[in-house]
Amino acid sequence: MELIEKVKKEEITDEQRTQIYSFSSRISKETREEVCPALYNTLLNTEKGALKNELGRVIFHLFKNDRLTTVIGLEKLIDASLLVAPEEMFKILEESEADAQELAKKIRQVL
């Protein structure tokens, strides 16, 4: 719980983001197809509201062009989820395939 409070209070550094993106690139296509729509729906239904910044526009563009389940889509969804819904993101990852569970573990280590 204290990790989530830390994420909410502090910005993620570029170095941390790069490490998280590196870990995300190792996720299987099947897992991305399961996790990405769940993360997207979580972002749409978050209490903080829609992301009205460049990151939100990128995510919407990827969704509109059916590219949300790509590696880049997963990276952007994780980035946005860490900003507005970290608890839900970790829950989704930890309830998914083994590689998503490993990703959640690695993200926690980076943060």
Whether residue 6 is contained in a domain is answered as: no
Total domains present in the chain: 1
Q: Which residues does 64 contact at the CB level (< 8 Å), separation at least 6?
A: none
Looking at the domain assignment, is residue 15 inside a domain? no
Q: Where are the alpha helices (DSSP H) in the chain?
A: 2-9, 14-24, 29-44, 54-64, 71-84, 86-94, 98-110
The answer as to whether 68 is a domain residue is yes
Query: 84 in a domain, yes or no?
Result: yes
Q: Residue 7's pLDDT is what? A: 56
Q: 101 lies in a domain?
A: yes
Q: Is residue 54 part of a domain?
A: yes
Global confidence as pTM: 0.86
Task: Please tell me the distance from the alpha carbon of residue 42 to that of residue 62, in angstroms, as a whole number.
Answer: 16
- Is residue 1 one of the residues assigned to a domain? no
Amino acid at 9: K
Q: What is the pLDDT of residues 71-106, one digit of tens each?
A: 999 999 999 999 888 999 999 999 999 999 999 999
Rounded-to-integer distance, Cα 96 and Cα 29, Å: 13
Bigger pLDDT: 100 vs 56: 100
Q: Which domain holds residue 47?
A: 33-110
Q: Is residue 61 part of a domain?
A: yes
